[in-house]
Structure 1
Amino acid sequence: MEIIQKFGLEAKLFLFQLINFLIIVFILKKFLFAPLKKILDERKRKIEQSLQDAENAKIALENASEKKKNILAKAKSSADTLMATVKVSIKETKEKAVIEAKQRSEQIIDEAKQKAATEFESMNKKIGKISVDISGKVMSKVLSDLFTETEKQKLMSRALEKIDENIKN
């Protein structure tokens, strides 16, 4: 205690100051530091939550980017498949049209050939009849001066038979 008195401290006053100090520390701790700590802890929690949300957003963005790439790849694949199908369909349609056109042209050619053959036969028959008539008239003129009527008839009938045979062959 001697030291305390040397410095001019009174024990009672020191004790009251110590009690006042402890009361102020208690009051500050209870009403200032506790709410302040609570506010700081809440702020720290919000910052950590924001950092976690940012990390989650980054991961979600990466996942979305991957999904986008996958969707684009699938769409491209589908488009390629569709284009291939369309090309095959166009090729088949083209080939079918060519075959149908070829068949139709062959049919038209066959019909034309048949019609031409029919016309040819008809014309040959007409020409044959005309040539027989002309031959008959020519022979009758030529033979009228040279032969008698009976001989003319025999020669004419034989000549007409030969002409008919030649026309038929």
Structure 2
Amino acid sequence: MNHLQNAMECILFAHGDPVKGDDLAKVLQVDPSLIEKEMEELIVQYTDKGINIRKISGGYQFCTNKRYYEAATRLIQGEKRARLSTACLETLSIIAYRQPITRAEIEAIRGVRAESSLHTLLERGVICIRGRKNAPGKPMIYGTTDEFLIHFGLNQIEELPNYQSARKGKK
């Protein structure tokens, strides 16, 4: 491991959230292509360790290796935030697959009011108000956030499973 890789590890560890390659390049005063090359080496080096480096939300982040996730969560279970309710998860999946979308459109799909779920999801930071729809009443439109990508370990929204295949898996 070289000096640049050591510095990159240090930054990822200290920052905690995903760090974009361009930001690493600026801080370390090197070409972004060198960051990409060195990061690919680090990703390989961490493949079989307890933690991995993953590309999430357009940046790089240390993450728990999925093989050891259960052991790690046993220690922090008391600190864990309450899980999202089924209603919140349904609302969130509708937003993720149909964004941008209004509350009325969500409620038409779910068949029930979504105000409480939207409030919870906004509070958790996994969705945001993206603006207003050019329609009568100018209703707010909702979409997912980078926090959503981080929470679900995605680099970009296009990495969500295909909607139709996800629905088939539910049946």
Is TM-score (shorter-chain normalized) higher than 0.5? no
Question: Which structure has the greater CA radius of gyration?
Answer: 1
Bucket of the pairwise TM-score, normalised by the shorter protein? under 0.3
Q: Could you say which structure has the greater relative contact order, defined with CA pairs below 8 angstroms and 6 or more residues apart?
A: 2
Q: Which structure has more strand as a fraction of its residues? A: 2
Give me the TM-score of the superposition, normalised by structure 1.
0.14
